[in-house]
Amino acid sequence: MIKKILVAFLISMIPLIELRGALPFALLVGLHPVIAYAVCIIGNMLPVPVIFFFARRVLEWGADKKFIGKFFSFCLKKGHKGGEKLLKKAGKGGLFVALLLFVGIPLPGTGAWTGTLAASLLDMDFKTSVAAVMLGVILAGIIMGILSFCGISLLSDSEFIKNLAQSFN
């Protein structure tokens, strides 16, 4: 069980995969839904303060470096695009709700990493950003939990699902 928890925790910390990949994995390998949900939310939220305070500086520093410049520039552009979308849709007044929904609706390119970077690039304050991202991660967890249960029940006879669950026992 510790192995399953640790793997789900680590998956939830990976950018772009985050809770959206970790929660279905955790449920597939047989973790109790409450444990899976808690582990994935904690793992997804753990990098948020680091991203908020340091990612912008590191990305700006590395954008013009030889080997890492393309990736760092991509990340900066992704964060700027996310921030622009949030501002365009919500304006300054609705930024909290827009950030919450941006993080909470599990679409490609959205999530705690991108949302936190966008909040940092928009110069939102830390407490507001973390609260919006946390509520968004909780919302994403609910959505992914429901979708995962539906998918697992549909695919429960699949050999792949059986082999994956068995490999972690």
Percent with pLDDT over 90 in the chain: 46
pTM: 0.80
Cα 146 from chain centre: 17
Q: Are 42 and 34 in contact (CB under 8 A)?
A: no
Q: What are the residues whose beta carbons fall under 8 Å from the beta carbon of 8, sequence distance 6 or more?
A: 22, 23, 25, 26, 29, 31, 36, 39, 40, 43
**pLDDT for position 138:** 96
Q: How confident is the model at residue 74 (pLDDT cuts 50, 70, 90)?
A: confident
Mean pLDDT of 104-117: 88
pLDDT at residue 160 above 90? no
Alpha carbons 27 and 40: distance in angstroms, whole number: 11
Q: How confident is the model at residue 141 (pLDDT cuts 50, 70, 90)?
A: very high
**pLDDT for position 169:** 65
Nearest Cα to Cα of residue 74 among 51, 82, 88, 120: 82
- For 14, half-sphere exposure in the C-beta direction (CA atoms, 13 angstrom radius) is 11
Average pLDDT over the chain, rounded to whole?
87
Per-residue pLDDT reduced to its tens digit, 13-65: 998 899 999 999 999 888 999 999 999 999 999 999 999 999 888 888 988 98
